[in-house]
Amino acid sequence: MKTSIIGTGHVGLVTGACFAERGHQVLCVDVDRAKIAALRGGKVPIFEPGLEPLVARNVKAGRLRFGTTNREAVAFGDVVFICVPTPPLPDGKADLSYLEAVSRDIARHLDGYRLVVDKSTVPVHTGERVHEVITRHSPAGADFDVASNPEFLREGAAIEDALNPDRVVFGVESERAERVLRELYAPFKASVLATDIKSAELIKHASNSFLALKISFANALAAICERAGANVLEVTRGMGMDQRIGAAFLNPGIGYGGSCFPKDVAAFEAISKDLGYDFRLLREVQRINEDAREGFLKKVEQELWILKGKTIAAFGLSFKPGTDDVRESVALKVVQELLARGAIVRAYDPQALDQARKVVPKLKGFRTPYEAAKGADCLLLLTEWKEFLDLDFRRLKSVMAHPTVVDGRNLFDPAKLREAGFKYRSVGRP
Ligand SMILES: NC(=O)c1ccc[n+]([C@@H]2O[C@H](COP(=O)([O-])OP(=O)(O)OC[C@H]3O[C@@H](n4cnc5c(N)ncnc54)[C@H](O)[C@@H]3O)[C@@H](O)[C@H]2O)c1
């Protein structure tokens, strides 16, 4: 099926490449001409495991191509996906201006039936708005349907998630729209939930908010365990063995970040308020999340007392392992806070240093963890990249000024670190 993707970012590029991999003809467009030029030149602008060869293979096979205008997208695809950003406004609501602009563009170029599918994460009722905008700006009698197809991929595992999704959700208002989406997704062999558009939109906000809630619950438990002298990992393990609860996303740490959870929880709370429901629980989820970061910084302060002039090694900058994405990264926020308080931060990340420098230009980054740890009074583990498990702790200790580790992700084994001669602290563990 001929499919267009508008917005060739983390979601759009992965979605486009995976549709192509499953045999569809795909055109990905973006307003960012530099990005499209790079992609046409064989360069994938983001780090996502497996994405570069996937894109290369499908471009070579003639199933994946790139463009710079939404006019091309409408001309090419029977289905047109919208994958543009929906960032937070200062009041927490989602900024839907990109989505509206794209809807107007699509409307202007409509000639014959198109299925317009929103994949961006949006508040409930957005589908109706998109329908209104397209109706208002399209030629009289234009034939189209609007659908919602929320995306659940995880950065760092995006290809696997997009090729083999747990579930695919369609929000549709016509049989034709459902038929088209079922045909498009048939090669994925996924469980499909076809529902109305409003419910589909809510499924996405509810899912992300619930996952964030699990993380905040684990962080609250960690705070209690620290006061009680218990081990939060034992507590969450015991909870997770109950199938009604499940073990996933019960990991305490320095809080959730990234381009989705913070904005989606805030946007869900804001739309709930607009609908006349005060979703206090979500405010608490956000508050606990802030507390997790502040609690971690307090531990660093307890170790170093005065931060000004202290040398601190920061391991990990991306918002999670497996990506170079630093949007709303708690790791980077911690680094910024330390710099603001006068600490000297020496950073290492396997992938995200360049992206981090765009946000914090004066950040001192190093090519190896050992260089970053040189002369450090304290080492902070901020993002749980697997490669940190293979660190040579003897070597690390030999280059640091003081062998203290504050582990914000409970990555290391406390006994191993103590045995190697480190003073070690983590989250919610005695
Ligand atoms: N990143 C994730 O893990 C993830 C997962 C699920 C859902 N989502 C949602 O998907 C949406 C996109 O997120 P993302 O992470 O891919 O964002 P992104 O910033 O990586 O990509 C968005 C792209 O859209 C382009 N764009 C902006 N305006 C445009 C326009 N008028 N015409 C064409 N292109 C335009 C931008 O240049 C950019 O390349 C958001 O709503 C997000 O919440 C993201």
CATH of 196-430, one of 2.60.40.10, 3.30.70.580, 2.60.40.1220, 3.40.50.720: 3.40.50.720
269 CA distance to ligand 1 centroid (A)?
Answer: 21
For the stretch 252-265, pLDDT in tens is: 999 999 999 999 99
86 CB within 6 A, ligand 1: yes
13 CA distance to ligand 1 centroid (A)?
Answer: 9
Ligand 1 atom nearest to CA at 94: 41
48 CB within 6 A, ligand 1: no
Helices and strands, counts by H and E, the chain = 17, 14
Domains 2-195 and 196-430 fall in the same CATH topology: yes
**DSSP H or E segment with residue 365:** strand 364-365
Which of 66, 118, 259, 271, when mutated, tests ligand 1's pocket best, judged by the most ligand atoms within 8 Å of its CB? 259
365 CA distance to ligand 1 centroid (A)?
Answer: 28
Question: For residue 412, which of 370, 379, 363 has the smallest C-alpha distance?
Answer: 379
Q: Crossing angle, helix 10-21 and helix 51-60, to 10 degrees?
A: 50
Range 191-206 average pLDDT: 98
39 CB within 6 A, ligand 1: no
The pLDDT value given to residue 141? 87
For the stretch 29-55, pLDDT in tens is: 999 999 999 999 999 999 999 999 999
The pLDDT value given to residue 340? 98
For the stretch 331-353, pLDDT in tens is: 999 999 999 999 999 999 999 99
The domain spans of the chain are 2-195, 196-430
Q: Where are the beta strands (DSSP E) in 243-359?
A: 311-315, 344-348
100 CB within 6 A, ligand 1: no
Active site residue 260: yes
**DSSP H helical ranges for 197-279:** 197-228, 232-240, 261-274
The number of beta carbons lying within 10 Å of the beta carbon of residue 34 is: 9
94 CB within 6 A, ligand 1: no
Active-site annotation holder among 18, 225, 260, 378: 260
The edge-to-edge listing of strands for the beta sheet with 25-29 is: 64-67, 25-29, 2-6, 79-82, 114-118, 144-148, 167-171, 191-195
Report whether pLDDT(430) > 90: no
The pLDDT value given to residue 200? 98
Range 233-246 average pLDDT: 98
- Please list the residues that pair with 171 across neighbouring strands: 148, 195
155 CB within 6 A, ligand 1: yes
Phi, psi of 226 (to 5 degrees): -60, -40
Which of 6, 11, 263, when mutated, tests ligand 1's pocket best, judged by the most ligand atoms within 8 Å of its CB? 11
Please state which CATH number belongs to domain 2-195: 3.40.50.720
- Please list the residues that pair with 27 across neighbouring strands: 4, 65
Report whether pLDDT(326) > 90: yes
Ligand 1 atom nearest to CA at 35: 39
CA distance 193 to 185: 12
For the stretch 371-429, pLDDT in tens is: 999 999 999 999 999 999 999 999 999 999 999 999 999 999 999 999 999 999 999 99
Angle at alpha carbon of residue 352, lines to 211 and 360, rounded to 5°: 100
